[in-house]
A and B are shown apart, each in its own frame.
Chain A
Amino acid sequence: MDVFSTNFATIDWIIVIVYICIPVVIGVIVRKYVRQLSDFIVAGRSLRLFIAIATLTGTELGLVTVMYNSQLGFKHGFSAFHVGIIETVCILAIGLTGFIVYKLRELRIMTIPEFYEKRFGRNVQIVGGIILAVGGIMNMGLFLQAGARFMMGVTGYSNPAGLKIFMSIMLIMVLIYTVLGGMVSVVLNDFLQFVVLSIGMLVGSYFVIQKIGWSNLFKAPDVVDKASWFNPFAEGSGFGSIYVIFMVVLTFSAGALWQSGTLRALAAKSPKVAKQLFAWGSISYLARRVIPMLWGICAFIFVSQSPTLLSAFQGPDALNSQFGMPIFIAKILPSGFLGLIAAGMFAAFMSTHDSYLLSWSSVITQDIVAPLKKGHLSDESRLLITRISIVCIGLFLLIWGLWFEAPVSLWNYMAVTGTIYLAGAFTVVTSGLYWKKASKTGAMIALCAGLLAFGGIGPWTRGDNVPFYASDKFIGLMTFAIAILGMIIGSLLFPDKDKQTEVAQ
């Protein structure tokens, strides 16, 4: 069986091309609704519950999400499901208690570093803004690469130059409509993409389960260790206790404070809607993990049944395991539906990119450039800077995605780069909201501690030909621990003399 053989036909290309034009048209149409900065960044704080759920899902269920989760399923089997369970419980807990998100929405801020400014002052805001932007942009550094691999796997276009072509086209489409329509455009596209992608994923799940067989699905393939295929704590599963603890800390902090997701809470109609959004959205968080992992598991079972395919994923010249799921669905889904799935995934790719571009560019404008200018920036100037930032981030993504190959799995890369921002942000926001003694010095130490997570993508995480070995999960977990300790010790040793506005009160 040819590895890159596919059912993708001309009709599928037509479906994809027609579909990718829709967001650009929406961007042009809704441009008239963007009259001030809050319209552009938080859609005038007008999101009601259903549309907020759709846009939260549209953002957090991206093509890169599908790729890294299917890769986890492909490599680790059902034991990867534990990440979905942990994340769902964390998001539900945030929704039921309103922890962090309720208070942030009450403050009517547009970005997380704006809170730093209100609670700890301008310097903390600028440092926090820089770390957030660096961590966030690094985090999305491999989105294009993963997206391009999906399109190559599905379409069967295996020419290496195809990677660059796909990446460039994808990026240009997103840049156009995000720059034009801002959050209003993003919300409408997210809704459309939520509907198309969700239906595609549910129907697609029917096809993949039918192909493998419901009873065969829960039997570990002969080529893997049966215990570690199901049990995340088993030796050889690739996870273990430290990883599980890291996931609890990471998904809880990301659930509450990942800028693109939190932006939905900040754009919600009221603090109550922000809370409900997370409670109901927890189902989406479960689906965004479990369904792609299911596809990855089915892909591995399928590959393990074909010696040709299996050998393509083994040995020194093995294909990247990210190719497993797209190559699988390209062979089993019928033409026409495959085009719809590809369009849905492309939509997912765009919906994540647009929100992330908007998130990080708004942080650059609101929390780095504007404070440095001491607030002397008109709404028009801020809009212009935000739009220029979007284009600059896009260029970085293109360059970074072309040459950087992560030493760890895609999800682990995302986890450690996310930690650069989250370790400090979670500590600073939580202590700022709920601990009166939290000080500027403590906040600075906690934010800077997040930079330690850069170590999680270093060559020593590979474990071979390096003077010392440190796993990415260990580095990630330690970064959180050091940030929390830094906040406590810094605040107790160096309390604030001139009290800022006491948000906690």
Chain B
Amino acid sequence: MSWALFWKIVLIFCLSAYSLLVVAVSFGGIKNIIDMLKELGAPRNHE
């Protein structure tokens, strides 16, 4: 396999995988933020 072909595969994989990750993290992250702020806002003891 030539270097050019190898880098082409790497580039296609990177753009596809990152697109999927961005979609998943964008939606999942909003729920995570709500949970985090609820947790930080709740009364608690010092660690």
* B22, A230: Cβ atoms closer than 8 Å: no
Interface size of B by CB at 8 A reads 31
Interface flag for A421 (CB, 8 Å): no
| Stretch in A48-56, A142-150, A362-370 with 4+ CB within 8 Å of B | A48-56
A187 to B25, CA, bound (A): 13
A84 to B30, CA, bound (A): 29
**Bitwise interface map of B from 26 to 38 toward A, beta carbon under 8 Å scored 1, else 0:** 1111011101110
Contacts of A33 in B (CB 8 A): 37, 40-41
* B36, A287: Cβ atoms closer than 8 Å: no
Q: Which residue of B lies closest to A220 (CB)?
A: B4
A84 to B11, CA, bound (A): 11
Interface flag for A256 (CB, 8 Å): no
* B14, A290: Cβ atoms closer than 8 Å: yes
Chain A 28-80 residues near chain B, CB threshold 8 A? 30, 33, 36, 38-39, 43-44, 46-54, 57, 78-79
A291 to B14, CA, bound (A): 8
Q: Which residue of B lies closest to A214 (CB)?
A: B8
| Residue of B11, B15, B31, B46 touching A50 (CB-CB under 8 A) | B31
Interface size of A by CB at 8 A reads 43
Contacts of B47 in A (CB 8 A): 36, 38
A44 to B7, CA, bound (A): 41
* A48, B7: Cβ atoms closer than 8 Å: no
Contact A184/B40 with A202-B22, A280-B21 known, Cβ cut-off 8 Å: yes
| Residue of B3, B14, B22, B31 touching A78 (CB-CB under 8 A) | B3
Contacts of A504 in B (CB 8 A): none
Distance of B31 from chain A, by nearest CB (Å): 7
Residues of B within 8 A of A (CB): 2-4, 7-8, 10-11, 14-15, 17-19, 21-22, 24-29, 31-33, 35-37, 39-41, 46-47
Pairs across A and B, CB under 8 Å, 9 listed: A43-B36, A51-B28, A78-B3, A194-B26, A194-B29, A202-B15, A202-B19, A230-B3, A283-B17
